[in-house]
């Protein structure tokens, strides 16, 4: 029996090599679109999500998709199954400001308190950032670390993760980043792209640009500000050429860093909409 097993949710970016090497359990979100909720599994893409929505340039608030947590009983079942193979569980989830999964997992863990040892962690991050925390935890568990030691590693890494994203779909940001309706309408008319930063798990609008070339420049400058970049995840939707250009520039700037093109998960797309380019940065500690 393993000492500790890691559980996460479907927002996490886990490369096949990591998923194959470690017994990580993934609980799928449910993505609600056009009145129907579908599980966020590996075969459910962002394009499938957007094709289910009304084909209009600007969606009404009630037409926007949403991310839902798994049923609490499903999470409990997952924990009970994992507990047959491990003494303790560390459950790491998408930012609680963007997904209800962390809160639902806490409820499930509380209902099993006294029977199983389960610790639930809010990553305060998303996608590549969440996946990196899960990978760190799984590697520590494989090395024999106990639950307390692994949680300390994860919680110590959380403040060193940074997210910046540009989105063209400003009406999505009225809900997720508290952009005003008038800003959204005017920005959409002018072809504005909003730059967002994630702080304490929340999305905050910072500035706006008009061209895709400016998007690449701003994201490059954002990454270049960090002194000790270890890893960068670049994600996009409909920004293929700019994403390649950004990666090439970053590899020239950071020859020793790991830089990856990562998938854009539907559970983040419900907040940002289509047509995005963003980075997740992990700054190493001295």
pTM of full prediction above 0.85: yes
- Among candidates 28, 124, 34, 44, which has minimal Cα distance to 77? 28
Mean pLDDT of 157-168: 96
- pLDDT score of 1: 65
CB 264 within 8 A of CB 49: no
pLDDT score for 162: 98
173 and 204 Cβ atoms separated by less than 8 Å: no
Read off the pLDDT band of 97 (50, 70, 90).
very high
Higher pLDDT, 208 or 185: 208
Q: Which residues contact 232 (CB under 8 A, 6 or more apart)?
A: 223, 250, 254, 257, 258, 259, 260, 279, 280, 281, 282
pLDDT at 171: 83
Hey, do 2-31+68-158 and 160-283 end up sharing a CATH topology, with the first three levels equal?
Answer: no
The dihedral of CA 243, 249, 255, 256: what is its sign?
A: negative
- Model confidence at 286, pLDDT cuts 50, 70, 90, reads low
Tokens representing residue 267 in the block:
């559970």
CATH number, span 160-283:
3.30.1180.10
Q: Which residues partner with 117 through β-bridges?
A: 88
Q: Please tell me which residue, 119 or 183, carries the higher pLDDT value.
A: 119
Q: Domain 2-31+68-158 class?
A: alpha beta
pLDDT score, position 174: 81
Average pLDDT value for residue range 245-256: 97
Report the share of the chain in percent with pLDDT over 90: 83
Summarised one tens digit per residue, pLDDT across range 38-69 is: 999 999 999 999 999 987 667 777 889 999 99
Q: What is the pLDDT of residues 177-204, one digit of tens each?
A: 665 443 444 445 446 789 999 999 999 9
**Distance of alpha carbon 96 from its chain centroid, rounded?**
11
**Domain residues of the chain, as ranges?**
2-31+68-158, 160-283
Q: Report percent pLDDT > 70 for the chain.
A: 93
Question: What pLDDT is recorded for position 83?
Answer: 95
- Mean pLDDT for the chain overall: 92
Average pLDDT over residues 33-37: 92
pLDDT surpassing 50 at residue 217: yes
**Mean local confidence (pLDDT), 206-224:** 93
| Residue bearing the bigger pLDDT, 261 or 34 | 261
pLDDT of 179 reads 58
């Amino acid at each position: 029996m393993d000492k500790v097993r890691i559980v996460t949710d479907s927002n996490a970016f886990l490369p096949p090599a990591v998923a194959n090497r470690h017994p990580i359990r993934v609980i799928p979100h449910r993505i609600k679109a056009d009145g129907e909720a579908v599980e966020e599994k590996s075969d459910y893409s962002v394009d499938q999500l957007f094709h289910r929505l009304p084909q209009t340039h600007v969606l009404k608030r009630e037409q926007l998709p949403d991310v839902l947590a798994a049923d609490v009983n499903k999470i409990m079942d997952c924990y009970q199954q994992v507990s047959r193979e491990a003494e303790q569980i560390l459950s790491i989830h998408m930012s609680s400001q963007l997904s209800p999964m962390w809160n639902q997992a806490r409820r499930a863990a509380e209902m099993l308190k006294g029977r199983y040892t389960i610790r639930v962690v809010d990553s305060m991050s998303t996608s590549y950032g969440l996946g990196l925390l899960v990978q760190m935890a799984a590697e520590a568990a494989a090395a024999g670390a106990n639950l307390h030691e692994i949680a300390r590693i994860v919680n110590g890494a959380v403040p060193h993760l940074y997210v910046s994203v540009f989105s063209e779909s400003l009406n999505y940001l009225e809900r997720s980043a508290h952009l005003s309706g008038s800003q959204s309408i005017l920005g959409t008319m002018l072809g504005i792209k909003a730059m967002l930063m994630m702080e304490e798990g929340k999305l905050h609008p910072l500035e706006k640009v008009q061209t895709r070339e400016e998007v690449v420049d701003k994201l490059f400058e954002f990454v270049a500000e960090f002194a000790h970049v270890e890893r960068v995840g670049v994600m996009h939707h409909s920004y293929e050429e700019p994403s390649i250009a950004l990666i090439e520039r970053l590899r020239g700037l950071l020859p020793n860093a790991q830089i990856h093109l990562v998938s854009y998960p539907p559970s983040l797309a419900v907040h940002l909409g289509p047509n995005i380019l963003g980075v997740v940065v992990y700054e190493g500690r001295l």
